[in-house]
Amino acid sequence: MRRSLRLLAAVGLVGTLLFSCAPKSAKIIGVAKFVSHPALDAIEKGIVDELSASKPDYKVDLQNANADMNTAAQIAQRFKQEKVALAVGIATPTAQALANQIKDRPVIYSAVTDPVSAGLVASMDKGGANITGTSDMTPVREQLDLLRSLKPDIKRVGNIYASGEANSVALAAIVKSYCQENGLDYVESTITNSSEAKQALLSIVGRIDGLYLGNDNTVFSALSGIAEVALEKKIPVVTADPSSAETIPVLAALGYDYYRMGVATGKIVVRVLNGEKTADIPAFLPKDSEDMTFVLNLDTAKRIGVSVDQSIVDRAKVLISGGQLTRK
């Protein structure tokens, strides 16, 4: 497979067109992600790998909205004008932009936390007239249980999320409910763009004992800055993104293997291109244990003064200790 860059003058963007062995007259699959960060990049790679293997006669046009809603809408408009055979939206804002613009051909969403609340489908049990896809409704309660097991004396839970991301608003409601049920103080700070993330933590750091970060693309694109503050202030951070936790020093992450989710999304794309109706394909939500990953950073634990029980260490699929990453 060779790569070439094409200036997308219609929207003032630079995209990547993957050709594989496709003829010049090949149809195009448009793939747009909301922003570049480890989880969404892994999804994109999984989709491309699956399509390269199963549909090598199609070209794949990769686009990145760079966490900008207007750019996401422009990409959707381009795909519509380009008459792509099918469009894939990675993350909720991008999927919504595609669904709003494209009505006459299939749209496949990927890693949309709550496709019903996002207005993409009426039910998780079936697809829409021209849309279906994969959900990454993260196990919020399990993740918060993990935070509490790592910090048993926690009384105040912080949560940072982008108020403009429907998926993040839905998750915040679950976090707030969990805290109420377990007698914990819930402290949130919302942002509108990634440049505000570090300051958002600084604004609440004196009022929290631990920080939870759900599936929020805007926040995850600024995770390095958040982790920097958390280390300095000795705040344990548990996130829903194992991909970024392998390189960014948060305490722990429990969530989906996003490369596998990308492959699963690619398989749905193939089914639709082969003639299946989107309405007949329900939302795919990973349920196998192999689809989940638990990353634990013992180096971070040591730096912030957290003692980790051996039973928790034994559960980790990816362990970071002494600067070395080990996969079990």
Residues 154 and 91 placed together within one structural domain of the fold: no
Rounded to the nearest 5 degrees, what angle is found at the Cα of 158, between the Cα atoms of 287 and 303? 90
Residues 43 and 128 placed together within one structural domain of the fold: yes
| Residue 6 scores a pLDDT above 80 | no
Residues 194 and 207 placed together within one structural domain of the fold: yes
Residue 271 burial by Cβ neighbours in a 10 Å radius (0-12, 13-18, 19+)? middle
pLDDT, position 10: 36
Q: Are 235 and 214 in contact (CB under 8 A)?
A: no
Residue range 308-316: average pLDDT?
97
Residue range 55-76: average pLDDT?
96
Domain tally, the chain: 2
Residue range 213-230: average pLDDT?
94
pLDDT, position 288: 83
- Describe the crossing of helices 38-54 and 258-273 by its angle, rounded to 10 degrees: 40
| Residue 12 scores a pLDDT above 90 | no
251 token code pair:
């305490």
pLDDT, position 9: 34
CB neighbour list of residue 93: distance below 8 Å, 6 or more residues apart? 34, 65, 69, 72, 164, 165, 166, 217
pLDDT tens-place string over residues 147-158 = 999 999 999 999
Residue 30 burial by Cβ neighbours in a 10 Å radius (0-12, 13-18, 19+)? buried
CB neighbour list of residue 53: distance below 8 Å, 6 or more residues apart? none
Residues 188 and 322 placed together within one structural domain of the fold: yes
pLDDT band, residue 304 (cuts 50/70/90): very high
The residues that bridge with 256 in the sheet, in sequence order, are 292
Residues 105 and 201 placed together within one structural domain of the fold: no
| Residue 23 scores a pLDDT above 70 | no
Dihedral, CA atoms, 282, 288, 291, 295, nearest 10 degrees? 140
pLDDT tens-place string over residues 106-122 = 999 999 989 999 999 99
pLDDT, position 16: 65
Domain containing 171 equals 140-256+290-327
Q: What is the DSSP string of 124-186?
A: TTB--SSEEEB-----HHHHHHHHHHHSTT--EEEEEEETT-HHHHHHHHHHHHHHHHTT-EE
pLDDT, position 256: 93
Position with higher pLDDT, 39 vs 23 = 39
For the chain, percent of residues with pLDDT exceeding 70: 92
Residues 39 and 15 placed together within one structural domain of the fold: yes
184 token code pair:
């914990």
Residues 282 and 215 placed together within one structural domain of the fold: no
pLDDT tens-place string over residues 171-216 = 999 999 999 999 999 999 999 999 999 999 999 999 999 999 998 9
Residues 103 and 214 placed together within one structural domain of the fold: no
Residues 85 and 154 placed together within one structural domain of the fold: no
pLDDT, position 26: 63
Domain CATH for 23:
3.40.50.2300
Residues 313 and 176 placed together within one structural domain of the fold: yes
CA distances, 239 to each of 4, 61, 170, 199, 257 (Å): 35, 30, 16, 18, 13
Alpha-carbon gap, residue 200 to 272, rounded angstroms: 42
49 token code pair:
């790998």
Position with higher pLDDT, 57 vs 18 = 57
82 token code pair:
């380009």
pLDDT tens-place string over residues 193-202 = 999 999 999 9
Q: Amino acid letter at 224?
A: S
Residues 235 and 124 placed together within one structural domain of the fold: no
Helix (H) or strand (E) holding 308: none
Q: Are 180 and 172 in contact (CB under 8 A)?
A: no
Residues 119 and 202 placed together within one structural domain of the fold: no
